[in-house]
Amino acid sequence: MNIQIKPYENFDEAEIVELYSSVGWTVYAAAPDMLKRAYVGSMCVLGAYDGEKLVGIVRAVGDGASIMFIQDLLILPQYQRMGIGTRLMNALMEKYGNMYQTELMTDNEERTVAFYRSLGFKEAGEMRCCAFMKMQ
Protein backbone atom coordinates (compact mmCIF):
# COMPACT_ATOMS: atom_id res chain seq x y z
CA MET A 1 0.00 0.00 0.00
CA ASN A 2 1.40 3.36 -1.06
CA ILE A 3 -0.35 6.09 0.95
CA GLN A 4 0.32 9.62 -0.28
CA ILE A 5 -0.04 12.69 1.95
CA LYS A 6 -0.94 15.85 0.08
CA PRO A 7 -3.02 19.02 0.43
CA TYR A 8 -6.77 18.48 0.31
CA GLU A 9 -7.82 21.24 -2.04
CA ASN A 10 -11.23 20.43 -3.50
CA PHE A 11 -14.01 19.73 -1.02
CA ASP A 12 -15.92 16.62 -2.10
CA GLU A 13 -19.04 16.31 0.03
CA ALA A 14 -19.55 12.58 -0.60
CA GLU A 15 -16.03 11.53 0.42
CA ILE A 16 -15.95 13.85 3.44
CA VAL A 17 -19.36 12.69 4.70
CA GLU A 18 -18.25 9.06 4.19
CA LEU A 19 -15.11 9.69 6.24
CA TYR A 20 -16.93 11.40 9.12
CA SER A 21 -19.70 8.78 9.10
CA SER A 22 -17.21 5.91 9.12
CA VAL A 23 -15.77 7.03 12.46
CA GLY A 24 -19.14 7.85 14.03
CA TRP A 25 -18.96 11.64 13.82
CA THR A 26 -22.61 11.77 12.79
CA VAL A 27 -23.27 15.36 13.90
CA TYR A 28 -20.69 16.53 11.37
CA ALA A 29 -21.80 14.06 8.70
CA ALA A 30 -25.37 15.34 9.01
CA ALA A 31 -24.24 18.94 8.35
CA PRO A 32 -22.31 18.90 5.06
CA ASP A 33 -22.92 22.63 4.47
CA MET A 34 -21.26 23.43 7.81
CA LEU A 35 -18.37 21.08 6.95
CA LYS A 36 -17.84 22.77 3.59
CA ARG A 37 -17.67 26.22 5.24
CA ALA A 38 -15.30 24.80 7.88
CA TYR A 39 -13.00 23.31 5.25
CA VAL A 40 -12.96 26.48 3.17
CA GLY A 41 -12.07 28.50 6.28
CA SER A 42 -9.33 26.16 7.47
CA MET A 43 -5.68 27.15 7.71
CA CYS A 44 -4.54 23.77 6.39
CA VAL A 45 -6.15 20.51 5.32
CA LEU A 46 -4.03 17.49 4.39
CA GLY A 47 -5.40 14.28 2.96
CA ALA A 48 -4.07 10.74 2.95
CA TYR A 49 -4.76 8.94 -0.31
CA ASP A 50 -4.65 5.30 -1.32
CA GLY A 51 -4.49 5.89 -5.05
CA GLU A 52 -7.37 8.29 -5.68
CA LYS A 53 -9.30 7.27 -2.54
CA LEU A 54 -9.28 9.63 0.44
CA VAL A 55 -8.56 7.44 3.48
CA GLY A 56 -7.68 10.07 6.08
CA ILE A 57 -7.58 13.77 6.76
CA VAL A 58 -6.17 16.27 9.21
CA ARG A 59 -7.61 19.78 9.44
CA ALA A 60 -6.15 22.74 11.30
CA VAL A 61 -7.43 26.22 12.03
CA GLY A 62 -5.49 29.17 13.38
CA ASP A 63 -3.65 32.34 12.55
CA GLY A 64 -0.61 30.73 10.94
CA ALA A 65 1.83 32.42 13.31
CA SER A 66 1.12 31.98 17.00
CA ILE A 67 -1.63 29.38 17.35
CA MET A 68 -2.91 26.33 15.56
CA PHE A 69 -5.83 24.19 16.64
CA ILE A 70 -5.96 20.70 15.18
CA GLN A 71 -9.66 20.33 14.63
CA ASP A 72 -10.00 16.97 12.89
CA LEU A 73 -7.88 13.87 12.44
CA LEU A 74 -9.91 11.12 10.81
CA ILE A 75 -8.84 7.81 9.28
CA LEU A 76 -11.20 5.30 7.67
CA PRO A 77 -11.51 2.38 10.12
CA GLN A 78 -10.04 -0.17 7.70
CA TYR A 79 -6.93 2.04 7.38
CA GLN A 80 -6.43 2.70 11.10
CA ARG A 81 -3.39 1.38 12.99
CA MET A 82 -1.22 1.64 9.84
CA GLY A 83 0.65 4.83 10.76
CA ILE A 84 -1.47 7.11 8.56
CA GLY A 85 -2.57 9.34 11.45
CA THR A 86 1.04 9.73 12.53
CA ARG A 87 2.09 10.61 8.98
CA LEU A 88 -0.69 13.20 8.67
CA MET A 89 0.21 14.77 12.01
CA ASN A 90 3.92 14.78 11.20
CA ALA A 91 3.25 16.45 7.83
CA LEU A 92 1.14 19.12 9.53
CA MET A 93 3.73 19.71 12.25
CA GLU A 94 6.50 19.90 9.66
CA LYS A 95 4.58 22.59 7.81
CA TYR A 96 3.68 24.55 10.96
CA GLY A 97 6.30 23.41 13.46
CA ASN A 98 7.22 26.98 14.38
CA MET A 99 3.80 27.64 15.93
CA TYR A 100 4.02 28.99 19.49
CA GLN A 101 1.00 26.99 20.60
CA THR A 102 -0.61 23.91 19.04
CA GLU A 103 -3.81 22.66 20.63
CA LEU A 104 -6.32 19.90 20.10
CA MET A 105 -9.31 18.46 21.90
CA THR A 106 -9.98 14.74 21.75
CA ASP A 107 -11.85 11.89 23.35
CA ASN A 108 -10.45 10.86 26.71
CA GLU A 109 -9.78 7.26 25.71
CA GLU A 110 -6.57 5.44 26.58
CA ARG A 111 -5.66 4.64 22.95
CA THR A 112 -6.30 8.22 21.78
CA VAL A 113 -4.43 9.81 24.67
CA ALA A 114 -1.48 7.47 24.09
CA PHE A 115 -1.42 8.37 20.40
CA TYR A 116 -1.17 12.12 21.03
CA ARG A 117 1.36 11.64 23.83
CA SER A 118 3.51 9.65 21.39
CA LEU A 119 3.57 12.77 19.19
CA GLY A 120 4.77 14.97 22.06
CA PHE A 121 1.45 16.47 23.16
CA LYS A 122 0.65 16.92 26.85
CA GLU A 123 -2.64 17.25 28.64
CA ALA A 124 -3.42 20.89 29.45
CA GLY A 125 -3.30 20.24 33.21
CA GLU A 126 0.30 19.06 32.93
CA MET A 127 1.19 22.53 31.66
CA ARG A 128 -0.68 24.30 34.46
CA CYS A 129 -3.47 25.19 32.02
CA CYS A 130 -7.10 24.26 31.77
CA ALA A 131 -9.38 24.11 28.77
CA PHE A 132 -12.89 25.42 28.37
CA MET A 133 -15.39 24.79 25.65
CA LYS A 134 -18.96 25.63 24.75
CA MET A 135 -20.95 23.66 22.22
CA GLN A 136 -24.21 24.53 20.53
Q: At 71, which CATH number?
A: 3.40.630.30
Burial per residue of 16-33, b for 16 or more beta-carbon CB atoms within 10 angstroms, e otherwise:
bbebbebbeeeebbeeee
Whole-number pLDDT of residue 131 = 86
The answer to whether position 61 is within a domain reads yes
Whole-number pLDDT of residue 64 = 87
Integer CA distances (angstroms), 27 to 14, 15, 34, 39, 87, in order? 15, 16, 10, 16, 26
Rg, the chain, Cα only = 15
Tens of pLDDT, residue by residue, the chain (136 residues): 799 999 999 999 999 999 999 999 999 999 999 999 999 999 999 999 999 999 999 999 999 899 999 999 999 999 999 999 999 999 999 999 888 999 999 988 899 999 999 999 999 889 999 888 888 7
Find the domain containing 100 and state its range.
3-105
Provide the number of structural domains found in the chain.
1
Report the alpha-carbon distance of residue 95 to residue 7 in Å, rounded: 11
Whole-number pLDDT of residue 43 = 96
